[in-house]
Structure 1
Amino acid sequence: MPLLTLHLLSLQPGTDVKLFVKNVRSSPDVEVVVASRPRRLVIRPEVIDIHALTSGKWDLLLLLRSPGNGIPPALRSAISDEYSVHTGVPSKLLKAYPEADAKLKREASSARLTGALEKARNKPSSQSLELSADLLAFMDELVREHDKPVTMLNLLHFHPNGKPEYYKYGQGFASVAGKRGGNAKIVGNVVKPPSGQIDSRGDADKSENEWWNEISIVHYPSIRHFCDMLAGEDYQEINSKYRLGALRDTMLLCTTEFDVEETPPNSKL
């Protein structure tokens, strides 16, 4: 199972983010699987590395495959802060990813909304993956700039015996999100670092039970499609039945991939 590394990066002031990504892509032996711009935390972590993940502003998300599982040394001077997680991704999924990813993005403009947004009731918070007033305001703001696909990063930590329930959620999610064009395009098991060597700027002495178990990177045709899903009774049924009770902690970050940002309007990628 190939080992990839997820990096959340804050860059030094004045650093050109797109040029930084270009330089990473041109580095020998480095494969950039995902490169995206963090936009908003939809769910904030409540147990694991709260300060490390939420106290600053992330400029860049990278999912890399490389022999050293890290940022090329020559580029490290441009980084002011970093949070990283190693994850094993099935080789079959990784091999099919470029074609599958391109297809999702190509077909995004034809994905339909269900109409659930029109009768949505605002919730006080999006922490339970419900549609809040703040999330709707973010949707309206992002749509004006980027009415294109979004990519959601999920960091997941399960309760003991919670993973089987989350698997049931995943089965329901495939159908519920799928009819809105959503798709979990990367799913990986987190590889625990050695005891006392947690790969983040968080607490190094936390136990292995205080670390993430899984990551997923999920495609939606637009932020409106994501919010349409949250507003749907079909989604909230599986959310409350399987997801909420399975998770001890989670983080959900909305991002936009650079290749999508640079695609001209109405382009089929």
Structure 2
Amino acid sequence: MPEYSLHLLALKPGYTIPTFLSTIHSNSITPLVQAQVLRWIILPQKQSTVPLLAHNVRWDLLLVVERTVVLPTQATSQVTASWTAEISLHPNDVKDYATKNAKLLEASKRSPPPTSGDSEMTTELRDWLSHRPSAQQTHPISMLNLLAFNPGRREQYRQYGQAFGQAITPKLGNSRKFMGNVIGGQGREEGWEEVLLVHNHSLGHFAAMSGDPEFLAINKKFRLGTLKDTAILCVMDVGGDGKPLGQSTSRL
């Protein structure tokens, strides 16, 4: 199984995502994933609460690179805080990843606006969403999920994933980018077992999903009770220049 390092990075004042990416690209590093962090959707409650949340750290960048890659000093000198999980991914998830991701971003441009439901999001999260610039509300996003399972409940979560893929993906376009086992780094030390990266057509589509009756039924039947802890981080793919990938003008 291909092995990768998943890095969350907070940059020092005065440094930017384009500056950091320019530095690693100039050192011939091509990440599998490079994405701007927007915000936490679900905070961890038990695992990694200190390194991920302490001192109100503001994460800037999600980076996934091959495990053998060592970030150069010129890049790490721009970082004020970091968190890393070593992960193993299925070969099919990483094969032609860039091409498959480009197709997902293109599909998001053509997707119709979501049908709003009675969102299950918190008032704070709903308020944050409503104050996003319109371009950001309609832009493709991804959700990074950190997963730790209750004993014996991992297979039930698989059933959740299958039911979700059959019922919700065709309706709202949520699609798995990769799912992997946590095999090392802080992620393993702090009790996380799996990571999951899911594509969403937009923040609006994610909000619609959270209030979708079919999703709520699947979530209640298969997901609730399976997780010892989870965290979800909203990110947006960026190019080497730090600008968002897949910008849509059709829904602005």
- Normalising by structure 2, report the TM-score: 0.89
| Structure-1 residue corresponding to 2:219 | 239
Describe the superposition over 1:54-102 as per-residue Cα deviations: whole angstroms up to 9, x where unpaired: 121111111111524x422332111111000010011222113122111
| Structure-2 residue corresponding to 1:216 | 196
Q: How many corresponding residue pairs?
A: 243
| Structure-2 residue corresponding to 1:173 | 164
**SS of 2:180 mapped into structure 1:** strand
| Structure-1 residue corresponding to 2:32 | 33
Counting only pairs closer than 5 Å after superposition, residues 55-70 of structure 1 correspond to structure 2 as 55=54, 56-68=57-69, 70=70
* Cα distance in 2 between the residues matched to 1:265 and 1:173: 26
* Cα distance in 2 between the residues matched to 1:235 and 1:106: 25
* Cα distance in 2 between the residues matched to 1:18 and 1:186: 25
Identity rate, percent: 29
- How far the C-alpha of 1:159 sits from its partner, in A, is 0.6
Is contact 1:113–1:180 with CA below 8 Å preserved after alignment? no
* Cα distance in 1 between the residues matched to 2:67 and 2:81: 20
Is contact 1:113–1:228 with CA below 8 Å preserved after alignment? no
- How far the C-alpha of 1:227 sits from its partner, in A, is 0.8
**SS of 1:120 mapped into structure 2:** coil
Counting only pairs closer than 5 Å after superposition, residues 100-115 of structure 1 correspond to structure 2 as 100-113=100-113, 115=115
**SS of 1:32 mapped into structure 2:** coil
* Cα distance in 2 between the residues matched to 1:174 and 1:264: 25
* Cα distance in 2 between the residues matched to 1:178 and 1:188: 23
| Structure-2 residue corresponding to 1:185 | 177
Describe the superposition over 1:14-62 as per-residue Cα deviations: whole angstroms up to 9, x where unpaired: 002112112223323x331111111111100011111211121111111
- How far the C-alpha of 1:238 sits from its partner, in A, is 1.1
Of 203, 206, 210, the residue aligned with 1:230 is: 210
Give the direction of change, closer, same or farther, for the CA distance of 1:102–1:264 in structure 2 (3 Å limit). closer
* Cα distance in 2 between the residues matched to 1:99 and 1:243: 31
Task: Indicate yes or no: 2:4 matched with 1:4.
Answer: yes
- How far the C-alpha of 1:5 sits from its partner, in A, is 0.8
**SS of 2:95 mapped into structure 1:** helix
Report the RMSD for the aligned CA atoms in angstroms.
Answer: 2.0
Letter in 1 for 2:15: T
Give the direction of change, closer, same or farther, for the CA distance of 1:233–1:86 in structure 2 (3 Å limit). same
Letter in 1 for 2:16: D
Give the direction of change, closer, same or farther, for the CA distance of 1:264–1:245 in structure 2 (3 Å limit). closer
- How far the C-alpha of 1:136 sits from its partner, in A, is 1.8
Is contact 1:165–1:242 with CA below 8 Å preserved after alignment? yes
| Structure-2 residue corresponding to 1:120 | 118
* Cα distance in 2 between the residues matched to 1:110 and 1:265: 8
| Structure-2 residue corresponding to 1:125 | none
**SS of 2:230 mapped into structure 1:** strand
* Cα distance in 1 between the residues matched to 2:245 and 2:215: 31
Unpaired stretches in structure 1, ≥5 consecutive residues: 122-129, 194-198, 201-206
* Cα distance in 2 between the residues matched to 1:60 and 1:264: 18
